[in-house]
Amino acid sequence: MAQKTHSSDWDRLFNPNAPRRRGPIALFITVSLVICFLGVVMLGSGFGANKYGEYIEARALTATPLWKEYYAQQTATAQAQQVTPVAQAPAETRANVVNGGNLRSEPRIAPETIVGQVAPGEVLVLLENRTVDNSVWHRVRVVEPKGGLSAGTEGWINETLLK
């Protein structure tokens, strides 16, 4: 026996082979799920964009751009090439430290070159003189220490600290 079609089922009336539609509750659930999914996607993308912005900002504060590293290397190379040695100081030329300062491993100012500190009143023997960027540096040996350095310690000191 053939199944009777309901008069409110328009799809069945006009297309007998069409599948039966789901009711309004199923439609409500489907729309609700789609809205929830879109909301989660929107919130997630906002959160991700915020975290990415924080990451970029933190990286910008701590990272050194490649061009700065390149020019720093070029500048260091150029400064090293500008070093012009001056004639050796006469043997056993002594100097007194007037202003306390740093004894360095190289004739340049950089944190990694500090060997120790010289104190006012220390006696040093001048071993070599060098002019670097219009500044005279002396390679010295500590003879009479007054600070934390021991006798015989060698390094470079700027002439502004000596008398």
Residue range 49-72, pLDDT digits in tens: 999 888 888 776 665 566 666 666
Using CB atoms within 10 A of its CB, is residue 93 exposed (0-12), middle (13-18) or buried (19+)?
A: middle
Q: Is 90 found in the same domain as 146? A: yes
Backbone dihedral angles phi then psi of residue 131, each to the nearest 5 degrees: -105, 125
pTM comes to 0.44
Share of the chain above pLDDT 90, in %: 13
Q: Rounded mean pLDDT of 77-89? A: 59
* pLDDT for position 38: 95
Residue 77 lies in a domain: no
Q: Is 43 found in the same domain as 96? A: no
What's the number of domains the chain is made of?
2
Q: Is 94 found in the same domain as 144? A: yes
Report which of 129, 125, 119 is spatially closest to residue 154, judged by C-alpha positions.
125
Q: Is 118 found in the same domain as 52? A: no
